[in-house]
Amino acid sequence: MDYKKLNIPNNTITRDMNSLSADTGNVYETVKIISKRANQISVEIKSELEKKLQEFASFNDNLEEVFENREQIEISRFYEKLPKATLIAAQEYADGKIYYRNPAKEKDKLKIK
């Protein structure tokens, strides 16, 4: 997913947890869903950053290293300016872009029938 093009603010937003948890019926379950998605997003962003920084890995010292460090710093700054993974996950949940299921609830529905 291209997190650079998302229209998500970089600061925290006060959200109405009752309206967010209307789908699940449980605030804690909603927070758990958002936190799991935030962990997934965080891993994706971290692996993308590591791939980009891996290009600059060199095992010998030379004069070009100074210029490479500037590029590394620019890449790192760009990723630091991205919204936090929790903000991205909360926005995705609010927009209905997260698929989730609860196997325990599915078992209960099967027992009732």
In this structure, what token pair is assigned to residue 55? 């290009």
Q: What pLDDT, on a 0 to 100 scale, did the predictor assign at position 32?
A: 94
- pTM assigned to the model: 0.76
Beta-sheet strands, E only, within 1-104? none
Please write the tens of the pLDDT for every residue from 17-52.
888 888 888 999 999 999 999 999 999 999 998 888
Helix axes 27-54, 64-81, angle to 10 degrees: 160
Q: Which of 40-44, 62-66, 102-106 has the lowest mean pLDDT?
A: 62-66
The residue ranges of every structural domain in the chain are: 16-112
